[in-house]
Every structure is written in structure tokens, then in C-alpha cells.
């Protein structure tokens, strides 16, 4: 049985719930795209869960999620900016800036970030995946 026929066999409440969920996820992605953009060195993300996007020259380069106890602040500022070479920004700039201190300074002064707070932790991953699908950021490709 395909997904469409499965939905058609379910009570109407499921179809309504699905439509409501999809609409809310779409609004959250639109909020992310329209969110205020900050240079990383001037950003002060909250300690709340959410989805974030890194931009270089106004182009979406990476989309990620933050669900841990430190929220967006921890994920953006500690993991990507000050983290090890496994994180997207560190990998991206490692060849041009092999010295970690110089690389960090470059990232802080040249990469833009924006985010949207998502209180429902189950929704964070869905919104992140939808944003990646729509924006096609190159650093999310494996």
C-alpha cells in the first residue's frame, strides 16, 4: 500500500494533523530563510533548541540543528566556530586557513548566521531536513 492510499484509509483526523504539521514546518523554514542575519563575531544565539543556517556572501552554505542543553549558542559558537576540524565551517576553511586561530578569526568575521527557535524537539530534525532539501546548501552534501 502506498503512502497516499494509506492516508486515504485513515480517519480524517490524520489527514488534518498531517496538513497542519506540514504547514507549520513550512512556516518555520520560511522564518529561517527570512530571519535576521548576523556576522558570527557579532551573533548572540540563544541557549534554546532550533535550526540555524550559515551563509557566505549571502549564500546558504550549511543548515544544522541544535537540540542539546546549550541550544543554538552551544552548537553555533562552540561546535562550529571553536570546534574541531570535523565541523562544516572548520572543514570548509581548513585548506585556505590551516592555522586554527587565523581560521577562527576568518570565520568570525566573514561567515553569517541566522536561526529560528523551535521549541518542539521532535520538530527540529524535520525542519532542518526540509530546509536542507529546499535550500540545497553545499556543505550539507556528503
Domain-wise residue ranges, the chain: 3-140
**For the CA atoms of the chain, what is the radius of gyration?**
17
Instruction: Tell which CATH architecture fits domain 3-140.
Output: 3-Layer(aba) Sandwich (3.40)
* Pairwise CA distance, residues 36 & 107, whole Å: 18
Could you tell me the pTM of the whole model?
0.85
Taking 50 as the pLDDT cut, the residues of the chain under it are: none
Residues 6+ apart with CB under 8 A from 7: 14, 15, 18
What's residue 133's pLDDT? Answer: 95
What's residue 111's pLDDT? Answer: 97
Amino acid at each position: 500500500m502506498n503512502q497516499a492510499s494509506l492516508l486515504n484509509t485513515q480517519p480524517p483526523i490524520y489527514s488534518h494533523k498531517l496538513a497542519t504539521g506540514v504547514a507549520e514546518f513550512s512556516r518555520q523554514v520560511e522564518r529561517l530563510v527570512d530571519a535576521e542575519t548576523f556576522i558570527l563575531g557579532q551573533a548572540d544565539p540563544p541557549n534554546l533548541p532550533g535550526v540555524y543556517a550559515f551563509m557566505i556572501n549571502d549564500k546558504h552554505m550549511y543548515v544544522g540543528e541544535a537540540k542539546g542543553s546549550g541550544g543554538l549558542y552551544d552548537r553555533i559558537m562552540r561546535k562550529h566556530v571553536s570546534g574541531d576540524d570535523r565541523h562544516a565551517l572548520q572543514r570548509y576553511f581548513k585548506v585556505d586557513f590551516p592555522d586554527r586561530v587565523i581560521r577562527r578569526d576568518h570565520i568570525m568575521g566573514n561567515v553569517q548566521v541566522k536561526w529560528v527557535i523551535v521549541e518542539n524537539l521532535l520538530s527540529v530534525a524535520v525542519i532542518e531536513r526540509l530546509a536542507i532539501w529546499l535550500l540545497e546548501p553545499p556543505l550539507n552534501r556528503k
